[in-house]
Amino acid sequence: MIGGVAHLSSIDERNDAENDGALVTAARGGSESAFELLYVRYRRMVHAIALARVPPADAEDVVQDVFVLAMRKLGSLRDGAAFGGWLAAIAKRQASGWRRNVREQSELTDSPVASTQESDEEARHVLATIRTLPVAYRETLLMRLVEGMTGPEIAAQTGLTPDSVRVNLHRGMRLLREALEKNQ
Amino acid sequence: MSDRYLWDRGGEPDLEVVRLERLLSRYRFEGERRPVAGREDASSWRWLAACAAVIIFVSLAVAAALALRLRWEPERAWDVLTSSGSVAIDGQPIDSRAVLPPGGILETGTDSRATVRVARIGEITIGESSIVSLQYTGARRHRVSLEHGSLSARIWAPPFAFGVQTPAGLASDLGCEFTLQFVDGSGRIDVTSGWVDFDGRTRSSLIPAGATAELRQDNPGTPHYRDAGPAFINALRDYDESGDRESMRQVLATARHRDAMTLLHILERAPLELRPEIFYRTAQLASPPEGVTLDGVLQRHRRDGAVDLWRRSIGLGGYKRWWINWRDALPRSSREESG
């Protein structure tokens, strides 16, 4: 059992299951710091899963809802070491059920950073293309290309094997190149 | 081309991957918002709103049903629901559409009985060889008089809405089911659900479900649970008749933990000099709550409050929460099925 914030601060951001188990135990006991660390550790993964399903403008709201839901349901998670896979499942459900609204119609029209019109257009086009790929490739590519996560990080957080992640990245990238070339 | 860079950003950079990384970095999660426990997702809000709507609807329906249940025009006659054998109202044999008007007297012969609806709040069943009159019925209060025989009542209404006057005193319903018998100057009351407040000429009793009390002219006996031992019941009967120290000691000696209910009644009524002994024996059976002391029960102005506090501490304080006996609002067969 983790005793407090001081101890939590000694837990680094390595994605090992043992650390997750300790953080989950502490979070269940009411430690906001522990949940904060879980949030910092997994927010990029959850965002990528959301981005694979909802417009960019809504993805951050999905992230919020996923963590709020996870906070409430943490007591039902039997194995704290399985937090990543459990959270990913929640994220997929939340993002899949996300309300369709007017933003869906023009889903890629808003860009979060100022940049040239051409690059905006190209970014929207690439993201839209990724979202046409099979869902396993789509999520893994978004974690890698958008969130900047490495293959080992993706494997550790999602609960997928490193081999599966490697295959998803390789095949996903190949499909993406083909699709982009076809659309040029 | 090697996938090394795609895998862990190691090795020679794949220029296409680098370009896509830069291009898509604008969608990277940079939110500084932390999950807030009070923030609910849309589906949760919908769920909460639906629950609130259901609760409001049910509350309104229950309130409307209760208002209708309690409404009754003054002096309106009560319906006779069933009868068997020889039953008469004001000396006239009744038929299937009979009613009992205010002031009316219902009499049953041997092997006869009748069930009468008490306004909209319940019903009474009058046993054989009984005489019952309807004294008053109105918007909030209904009274009958049992002159002789037996009467069973099932009522679901606020306390004191229904009462039965007997030669031993007035039995007031506190949301309950009970049976009264009174023949040739004596009788008894048995409470099976909720509470009955029985007011005699000089003493009153608060009788809970599972308890009984003997009735005599002008006053009720001290109530006791029906499962009390014969020695305790006999000693209690002796004490009710004599009021002497010896029989009181017999009562105290034969009391069980559950009989603290009876001892608290005795404590309220006993002469001042007997109270310390009763207090300490009751305290052995059921510890008094904080603040209840011998001094308190010896002082008249503090006694009732102290005993009431003690009674509540042993789980006998529910007589004001009449609505929890909602099963008494169900038809008799439904209640029996539900346990």
Comparing A147 with B68, the larger pLDDT belongs to A147
What pLDDT is attached to residue A116?
A: 58
What pLDDT is attached to residue B62?
A: 78
- Contact list, B7 vs chain A (CB under 8 Å): 150-151, 166, 169
Residue (of A71, A110, A104, A106) closest to A87 by Cα position: A71
Q: Tell me which residue in A44, A68, A177 faces B35 most closely, judged by beta carbons.
A: A68
* Alpha helices by DSSP H, chain B: 4-8, 15-24, 42-70, 230-242, 245-254, 260-269, 275-285, 294-298, 300-313, 332-337
% of chain A beyond a pLDDT of 70 = 79
Residue A12 pLDDT grade (very low, low, confident, very high; cuts 50, 70, 90): very low
Instruction: Kindly report the pTM of this predicted structure.
Output: 0.53
Question: Does B91 lie at the interface with A, CB-CB under 8 angstroms?
Answer: no
What pLDDT is attached to residue A102?
A: 38
Question: Does B17 lie at the interface with A, CB-CB under 8 angstroms?
Answer: yes
Q: Beta strand B113-118 with B99-100: parallel, antiparallel or unpaired?
A: unpaired
What pLDDT is attached to residue B338?
A: 39
- Contact list, B31 vs chain A (CB under 8 Å): 43, 47, 60, 63-64
**Residue A150: closest C-alpha in chain B:** B8
Cα angle value A80/A86/A87 (rounded, 5°): 105
What pLDDT is attached to residue A104?
A: 46
Model pLDDT for residues A20-76, shown as the tens digit of each residue: 888 888 888 888 888 888 998 999 999 999 999 998 888 988 999 999 899 888 888
Asked if A25 and A1 count as a contact pair (C-beta separation under 8 A), the reply is yes
Structure tokens given for A113: 């950073």
- Alpha carbon A168 to chain centroid distance? 15
DSSP secondary structure code for residue B184 in this structure? T
- Evaluate if residue A114 carries a pLDDT over 50: no
Best mutation target, B9, B14, B18, B20, to test chain A (most A CBs within 10 A): B20
Phi, psi of A113 (to 5 degrees): -130, 150
Chain B closest CA to A55's CA: distance in Å?
10
What pLDDT is attached to residue A117?
A: 65
Question: Does A150 lie at the interface with B, CB-CB under 8 angstroms?
Answer: yes
Residue A30 falls in which region: left (phi positive, over 0), alpha (psi -120 to 50) or beta: left
Contact A146 B41 (CB under 8 A): no
Q: Tell me which residue in B16, B20, B34 faces A39 most closely, judged by beta carbons.
A: B34
Contact A60 B17 (CB under 8 A): no
Q: How would you write A102-145 as a 3-class SS string? A: HHHHCCCCCCCCCCCHHHHHHHHHHHHHHCCCCHHHHHHHHHHH
ipTM for this prediction: 0.82
Task: Tell me the pLDDT of chain B (339 aa) as tens digits.
Answer: 568 899 998 888 888 999 999 999 999 987 665 665 544 455 667 788 888 888 888 888 877 777 777 777 888 899 999 899 999 999 999 987 899 999 999 999 999 999 999 988 899 999 999 999 999 998 888 999 999 999 999 998 888 899 999 999 999 988 789 999 999 889 999 999 888 999 988 888 889 999 999 998 888 999 999 999 999 999 999 999 998 999 999 999 999 999 999 999 999 888 888 889 999 999 999 988 888 888 877 876 666 678 888 888 888 765 555 555 556 556 655 444 433
Q: Tell me which residue in A65, A71, A123 faces B37 most closely, judged by beta carbons.
A: A71
Chain B closest CA to A70's CA: distance in Å?
10
Asked if B116 and B123 count as a contact pair (C-beta separation under 8 A), the reply is yes
- Contact list, A97 vs chain B (CB under 8 Å): 43
Q: Which residues pair with B190 in a beta bridge?
A: B179, B212
